[in-house]
């Protein structure tokens, strides 16, 4: 294989694998948006909280399964608390008010997480050897493959859940038409609680994988910025859309940084994904998964 | 959820005008005589600059219903434009370069507003993030914007108007106050004009607005331009009158969120809201931290204090939103009405 | 504003109450250090270490020596979260306190915003290891001190070190160096210097930007892989550093050929990267570890009495903690030198500036201070506010840093003209007349 071709493949593969990581964060947003129309900006803080809690517990000598269980419990409690204390009183408020409220929640979670566990930087080792695999001159990261598998598994589980379980069907009914869902006797608050718990679990998975990549520290909450273009492209309300858009965003980002960067100046990764997502939307306002009439025009 | 003051009864303007007059007398007459340098430099000047930015965003988000997360980028454009204008055209006086900087920001706003013709809601909000990150990148990448300063941080020129130096704490405050007062007046004229009513019409029901003959695309772009104009000047004030240096990091996403907070906490679609919100966001954390320090003593771990403060601030924001989703302005209105009823 | 006054009084009372067991009257004079610290936010780890070390040393001087010649050292903190406007607020809040010795923000952005202010208020601004490069020229920036190492000297020091790795500076010819820098004004500052040194020594330099915050670097490291450089210089910041090391491992670049700059040289930068950081080398102006007498005294006198500032005692002797202690040494010695001239009392900011401008600590004096091996020496003058700080290089073995080089002197002579040109341009822009250092010294001697 020529080195140029090998590089191209490496860039694309690396981009796709990174994209899965973005999608992982985006799914947390999608779950909540789908059922309650809230763009939950506290998702990043929840990712930080999950990773920080897990690391701090293991560092204090708790065995991994126990720490995992405790963190999971903490995330469930936080998810429930946010839903109960913040979003339920704000039901029927305009989306922007809800969005701001989640920003307030993000402050509270970030502050409380660091108050409880300190501002120290931690390493997180999931026990996955991250030496690259050499596939005919193309290096592929073992860790990224593992992370992609986990994310894929989670997306598959969520899809199956939505498709085949009663609660999942209820989710979809609420997402499609909350009023009609209410009429059929679905208990909305219960579904909201469930969805916040689910978002907490997604935050835990994302927190562990991203924490292992970046180290566990304050900057972990910034991963949401990577998820936003994915959401725009894939739609705020589609799990499958988040995965596909994640792949596209990841690959676009890396390709443009490597091949476009030298032309117009490096460091364009920060905004190119947004511009690409925006450009796509302008051409095709119904987004990638334009099944429903999405209110974008 | 129309929080416009026009819902208020007709006799109120006189009371309002009176209050406004008293406020201006206080701001121009009493504060400059009694304030300390700390009050000017650390409280009032940043408060005024951010209130102005909030006012600008309110034109867009509160009146026209278009959500933007790119306010900090417009502030940056305004600040760097003012810097370059005064650097490269030394003949320009400060008011003129501020005005021109506002127009440059307005131009950026027009470009950023184009997606608004096709998108709305969070899709629009996230698309303004493209601008936010692009501007940060461009400021960093394009050398002449910061006059090829090796570190990219530039020092703001001195504040001189018509030969008079305003380069002391009080002077900087007065310059900021004057600009904010003038622009608030202009914004008030705008929102009470037919154009202002068109903005509200689009916010409330775009299709209906189109039916009654509002030129939606044009009005939306106008909202973006007017809003960015005001925010751009606020950015120039922030840099020139407050920090006195200009660096890209000061105009990051957190700043955009801060301005959005100001608008929403203060009250969407009211001019007062921006000032109330800015007071809440700028002054409250300082009060909290000094209260904490006074209660616990200087030696108390400042990190812990800060974290507690962050939690309290977040909780307060949520509490305000739950208690009064229409913002502090509505809260104030209600309190005023209750007081009025009691008096009657 | 009565409320403000009352609060201020409460604050002051708090300081005094917490400052120590000794009653206030026992101290004739005090010298106050306002601290714009950051213990929260993305850079909290650096802030807690640095300000912790600084406070620990001030504490040591009070406990061991009863202050500097009987002048007690006091301080208080204002949290900035590394944000410029909060740094300014803290400055405005604390600047009217009596007996301010110097400001030490450890933040480039805050330092820039303070240059005008400290110059007007005539108080020194210390930016150890960072800050505005051309403020090295004390003739134009009388109150600003980028002590030990400015960004240009850092660049030169790194290239000198790469020269020793290659077997001599002349062996750099034909080599390739990739500089991975943070996409910010800070990151970009040294671009022209790397380009200039590459031309001078005949190596190829590729400067690659990582967008803030740097949590994704796949594309940059693939570019590096294509370039096959001999060395990678990491000019990183916060989370960018561990991610760089991890991504290097992913793309098969050996860690021992990556050299970090002063903002990429702490435990916090390598610990999150785990095994990927083993072998990584970084520049430093002060060695880490607790083996030095002064650090031992901090442990024995301050921490043993329960007055240590670090919550986690394991961090004693870490890179940022030792930098804080070193910063304490430099501040205290400047006070001592100024006191020798102006008297053993509370000094004005301008008098402390004089002390900094005569801050000469040779190796013997450094050893006497119990800091032999912690840092090399410093020689600040009126014209040179950096003070010819030496650098050394340390390697991470997975648990601690070990020094792997001699003390290296950057090539100051070749950097000075660039610095002076920049300072002169600034002076012109701001209408500043540069000081005549020789005349000032002569006038001072004659008095």
Mutation site for B-interface testing, chosen from A97, A226, A236 by largest number of B Cβ within 10 Å: A97
Q: What's the mean pLDDT when you consider all of chain B?
A: 86
Nearest CB to C133; choose among B150, B299, B305:
B150
Nearest CB to B249; choose among C109, C134, C422:
C109
The length of chain B, given as a count of residues: 344
Only one residue has tokens 């959500």, namely: B67
B133 touches chain A (CB under 8 A): yes
The pLDDT score that the predictor gives to residue C228 is 92
Distance of CA A110 to the CA centre of its chain: 17
A116 touches chain C (CB under 8 A): no
CB contact under 8 A, B152 and C93: no
CA–CA separation, B120 and B65 (whole Å): 9
CB contact under 8 A, B314 and A278: no
CA–CA separation, C349 and C121 (whole Å): 8
Which residues of chain B have a CB within 8 Å of the CB of A265? 141
CA–CA separation, C109 and C185 (whole Å): 10
CB contact under 8 A, C273 and A14: no
As a whole-number percent, the residues of chain B with pLDDT over 70 amount to 93
- pLDDT tens for C234-289 read 999 888 999 999 999 988 899 999 999 999 999 999 999 989 999 999 999 999 99
CA–CA separation, C283 and C381 (whole Å): 24
CB contact under 8 A, B118 and A112: no
- pLDDT tens for C158-197 read 999 999 999 999 999 999 999 999 988 788 889 999 999 9
Nearest to C202 by CA among C236, C234, C227, C230: C230
The pLDDT score that the predictor gives to residue C180 is 96
C28 pLDDT tier (thresholds 50, 70, 90)? low
With CA atoms as reference, the chain C residue closest to B87 would be C429
CB contact under 8 A, B321 and A93: yes
CA–CA separation, B160 and A52 (whole Å): 51
Domain residue extents for chain B: 35-343
As a whole-number percent, the residues of chain B with pLDDT over 90 amount to 39
- pLDDT tens for C346-379 read 999 999 999 999 999 999 999 999 999 999 999 9
Mutation site for C-interface testing, chosen from A7, A17, A226, A257 by largest number of C Cβ within 10 Å: A257
Nearest Cα of chain C lies from the Cα of B250 at a distance, in angstroms, of 7
Nearest CB to B314; choose among A108, A119, A278:
A108
Q: Which chains touch C (3 or more CB pairs under 8 A)?
A: A, B
CB contact under 8 A, C14 and B244: no
Mutation site for A-interface testing, chosen from B63, B129, B141 by largest number of A Cβ within 10 Å: B129
Nearest CB to A218; choose among C44, C183, C225:
C44
- B227 within 8 A of B70, measured Cβ to Cβ: no
What value does the mean pLDDT take over residues C324-334? 97
- B139 within 8 A of B76, measured Cβ to Cβ: yes
Nearest Cα of chain B lies from the Cα of A43 at a distance, in angstroms, of 15
Distance of CA B277 to the CA centre of its chain: 9
- pLDDT tens for C46-99 read 899 999 999 999 999 999 999 999 999 999 888 888 888 889 999 999 999 999
Q: Which residue has the higher pLDDT, B2 or B321?
A: B321
- C412 within 8 A of C127, measured Cβ to Cβ: no
Please give the model's pTM, rounded to 2 decimal places: 0.89
What value does the mean pLDDT take over residues B119-147? 85
CB contact under 8 A, A265 and B67: no
CB contact under 8 A, C218 and A131: no
CA–CA separation, C389 and C381 (whole Å): 12
CB contact under 8 A, B61 and A114: no
CB contact under 8 A, A282 and B118: yes
CA–CA separation, C264 and C281 (whole Å): 10
- pLDDT tens for A72-129 read 999 999 999 998 999 888 888 888 888 889 999 999 999 899 888 888 888 888 888 7
The pLDDT score that the predictor gives to residue B214 is 87
Mutation site for B-interface testing, chosen from C185, C418, C421, C423 by largest number of B Cβ within 10 Å: C185
With CA atoms as reference, the chain C residue closest to A267 would be C211
As a whole-number percent, the residues of chain C with pLDDT over 90 amount to 74
Nearest Cα of chain C lies from the Cα of A257 at a distance, in angstroms, of 6
- Under-50 pLDDT residues of chain A: 291-297
With CA atoms as reference, the chain B residue closest to C89 would be B42
SS3 per-residue string spanning chain C: CHHHHHHHHHHHHHHHHHCCCCCHHHCCEEEEEEEEECCCCCCHHHHHHHHHHHHHHHHHHHHHHCCECCEEEEEEEEECCCCHHHHHHHHHHHCCCCCECCECCCCHHHHHHHHHHHHHHCCCEECCCCCCHHHHECCCCCCEECCCCCHHHHHHHHHHHHHHHHCCHHHHCCCEEEEEEECCHHHHCCHHHHHHHHHHHCCEEEEEEECCCCCCCHHHHHHHHHHCCCEEEEECCCCHHHHHHHHHHHCCCCHHHEEECHHHCCHHHHHHHHHHHCCCEEEECCCCCCCCHHHHHHHHHHHCCCCCCCCCHHHCCCHHHHHHHHHHHHHHHHHHHHHHHHCCCCCCHHHHHHHHHCCEECHHHHHHCCCECCECCEECCCCECCCCCCEEEEEECCCCEEECCCCECCCHHHHHHHHHHHHHHHHHHHCCCCCCHHHHHHHHHHC
With CA atoms as reference, the chain C residue closest to A258 would be C219
CA–CA separation, B313 and A103 (whole Å): 11
> What Rg value do the Cα atoms of chain A yield, rounded?
20
- pLDDT tens for B58-96 read 999 999 999 899 999 999 999 999 999 988 888 888 899
CB contact under 8 A, B317 and A228: no
Nearest CB to A269; choose among C40, C219, C251:
C219
Question: In CATH, what is the architecture of B35-343?
Answer: Orthogonal Bundle (1.10)
- B303 within 8 A of B36, measured Cβ to Cβ: no
Nearest Cα of chain A lies from the Cα of B132 at a distance, in angstroms, of 8
Nearest Cα of chain B lies from the Cα of A38 at a distance, in angstroms, of 10
- pLDDT tens for B263-290 read 988 998 899 999 999 999 888 888 887 7
What value does the mean pLDDT take over residues B330-339? 85
DSSP structure class, residue A216: B
What value does the mean pLDDT take over residues B157-185? 88
Q: What's the mean pLDDT when you consider all of chain C?
A: 90
From the number of C-beta atoms within 10 Å of its C-beta (0-12, 13-18, 19+), residue C93 rates as: buried
Q: Is the pLDDT of residue C410 over 60?
A: yes
Q: Is the pLDDT of residue C316 over 90?
A: yes
CB contact under 8 A, B127 and A89: no
The pLDDT score that the predictor gives to residue B17 is 78
């Amino acid at each position: 294989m020529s080195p140029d071709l090998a590089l191209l493949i490496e860039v694309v593969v690396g981009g796709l694998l990174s994209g899965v990581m973005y999608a992982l964060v985006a799914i947390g947003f999608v779950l909540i948006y789908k059922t309650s129309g809230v763009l939950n900006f506290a998702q990043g803080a929840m990712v930080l909280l999950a990773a920080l809690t897990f690391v701090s517990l293991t560092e204090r000598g708790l065995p991994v399964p126990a720490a995992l269980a405790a963190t999971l419990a903490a995330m469930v409690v936080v998810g429930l608390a946010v839903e109960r204390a913040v979003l339920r009183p704000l039901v029927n408020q305009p989306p922007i008010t809800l969005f701001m409220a989640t920003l307030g929640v993000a402050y509270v979670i970030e502050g409380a997480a660091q108050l409880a566990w300190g501002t120290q930087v931690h390493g997180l080792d999931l026990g996955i050897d991250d030496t690259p695999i050499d596939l005919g001159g193309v290096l592929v990261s073992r860790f990224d493959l593992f992370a992609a598998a986990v994310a894929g598994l989670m997306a598959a589980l969520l899809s199956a859940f939505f498709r085949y379980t009663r609660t999942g069907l209820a989710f979809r009914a609420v997402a499609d038409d909350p009023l009609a869902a209410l009429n059929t006797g679905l208990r909305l608050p219960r579904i909201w609680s469930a969805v916040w718990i689910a978002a907490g679990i997604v935050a835990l998975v994302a927190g562990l994988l991203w924490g292992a990549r970046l180290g566990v520290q304050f900057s972990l909450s910034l991963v949401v910025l990577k998820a936003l273009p994915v959401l725009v492209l894939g739609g705020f309300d589609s799990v499958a859309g988040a995965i596909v858009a994640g792949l596209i965003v990841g690959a676009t980002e890396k390709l443009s940084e490597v091949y476009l960067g030298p032309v117009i100046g490096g460091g364009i990764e920060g905004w190119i994904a947004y511009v690409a997502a925006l450009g796509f939307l302008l051409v095709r306002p119904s987004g990638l998964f334009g099944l429903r009439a999405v209110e974008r025009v | 959820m129309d929080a416009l003051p026009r819902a208020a009864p007709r006799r109120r303007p006189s009371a309002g005008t009176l209050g406004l007059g008293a406020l201006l007398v206080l701001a121009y007459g009493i504060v400059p005589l009694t304030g300390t340098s700390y009050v000017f430099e650390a409280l009032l000047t940043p408060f005024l600059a951010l209130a102005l930015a909030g006012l600008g965003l309110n034109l867009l988000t509160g009146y026209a219903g278009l959500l933007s997360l790119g306010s900090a980028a417009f502030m940056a454009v305004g600040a760097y434009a003012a810097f370059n204008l005064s650097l490269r055209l030394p003949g320009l006086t400060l008011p003129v370069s501020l005005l021109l900087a506002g127009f440059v920001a307005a131009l950026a706003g027009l470009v950023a507003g184009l997606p608004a013709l096709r998108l709305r809601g969070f899709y629009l909000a996230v698309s303004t993030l493209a601008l936010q990150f692009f501007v940060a990148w461009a400021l960093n990448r394009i050398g002449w914007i910061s006059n090829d300063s090796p570190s990219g941080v530039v020092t703001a020129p001195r504040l001189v108007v018509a030969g008079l130096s305003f380069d002391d704490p009080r002077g900087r405050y007065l310059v900021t106050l004057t600009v904010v007062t003038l622009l608030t007046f202009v914004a008030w004229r705008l929102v009470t004009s037919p154009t202002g009513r068109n903005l509200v019409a689009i916010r409330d029901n775009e299709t209906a607005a189109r039916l009654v003959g509002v030129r939606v695309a044009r009005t939306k772009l106008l909202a973006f331009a007017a809003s960015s104009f005001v925010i751009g000047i606020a950015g120039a004030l922030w840099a020139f009158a407050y920090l006195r240096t200009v660096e890209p990091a000061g105009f990051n996403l957190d700043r955009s969120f801060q301005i959005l907070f100001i608008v929403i906490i203060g009250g969407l679609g009211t001019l007062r809201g921006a000032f109330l919100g800015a007071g809440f966001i700028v002054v409250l954390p300082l009060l909290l931290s000094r209260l904490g320090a006074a209660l616990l003593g200087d030696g108390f771990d400042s990190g812990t204090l800060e974290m507690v403060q962050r939690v309290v601030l977040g909780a307060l924001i949520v509490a305000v939103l739950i208690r009064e989703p229409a913002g502090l302005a509505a809260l104030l209105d209600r309190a005023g009405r209750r007081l009025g009823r009691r008096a009657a | 504003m009565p409320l403000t006054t009352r609060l201020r009084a409460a604050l002051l009372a708090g300081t005094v109450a917490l400052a120590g067991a000794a009653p206030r009257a026992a101290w004739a004079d005090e010298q106050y250090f306002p601290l714009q610290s950051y213990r929260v936010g993305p850079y909290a780890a650096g802030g807690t270490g640095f300000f912790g070390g600084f406070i620990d040393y001030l504490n040591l001087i009070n406990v061991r020596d009863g202050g500097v010649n009987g002048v007690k050292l006091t301080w208080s903190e204002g949290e900035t979260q590394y944000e410029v406007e909060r740094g300014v607020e803290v400055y405005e809040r604390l600047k009217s306190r009596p007996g301010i010795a110097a400001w030490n923000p450890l933040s480039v952005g805050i330092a820039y915003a303070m240059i005008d202010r400290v110059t007007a208020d005539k108080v020194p601004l210390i930016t150890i290891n960072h800050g505005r490069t051309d403020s090295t020229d004390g003739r134009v920036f009388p109150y600003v001190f980028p002590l030990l190492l400015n960004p240009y000297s850092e660049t030169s020091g790194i290239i000198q070190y790469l020269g020793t790795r290659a077997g001599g500076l002349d062996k750099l010819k034909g080599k390739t160096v990739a500089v991975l820098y943070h996409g910010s004004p800070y990151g970009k500052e040294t671009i022209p210097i790397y380009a200039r040194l590459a031309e001078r020594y005949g190596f190829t330099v590729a400067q690659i930007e990582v967008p803030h915050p740097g949590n994704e670097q796949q594309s940059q490291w693939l570019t590096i892989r294509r370039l096959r450089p001999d060395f990678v210089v990491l000019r990183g910041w916060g989370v960018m550093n561990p991610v760089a090391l991890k991504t290097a491992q992913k793309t098969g670049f050996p860690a021992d050929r990556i050299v970090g700059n002063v903002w990429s040289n702490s435990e916090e930068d390598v610990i999150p990267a785990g095994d990927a950081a083993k072998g990584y080398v970084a520049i430093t102006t002060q060695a880490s570890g607790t083996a030095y007498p002064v650090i031992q005294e901090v442990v024995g006198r301050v921490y043993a009495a329960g007055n240590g500032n670090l919550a986690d005692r394991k961090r004693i002797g870490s890179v940022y903690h030792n930098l804080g202690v070193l910063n304490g040494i430099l501040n205290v010695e400047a006070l001592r030198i100024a006191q020798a001239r102006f008297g053993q009392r509370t000094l004005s900011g301008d008098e402390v500036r004089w002390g900094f401008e005569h801050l000469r600590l040779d190796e013997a004096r450094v050893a006497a201070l119990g800091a032999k091996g912690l840092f090399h020496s410093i020689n600040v003058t009126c014209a040179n506010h950096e003070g010819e700080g030496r650098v050394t290089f340390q390697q991470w073995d997975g648990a601690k840093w070990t020094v792997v080089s001699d003390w290296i002197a950057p090539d100051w002579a070749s950097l000075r003209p660039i610095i002076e040109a920049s300072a002169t341009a600034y002076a012109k822009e701001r209408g500043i007349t540069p000081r005549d250092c020789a005349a000032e010294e002569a006038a001072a001697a004659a008095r």
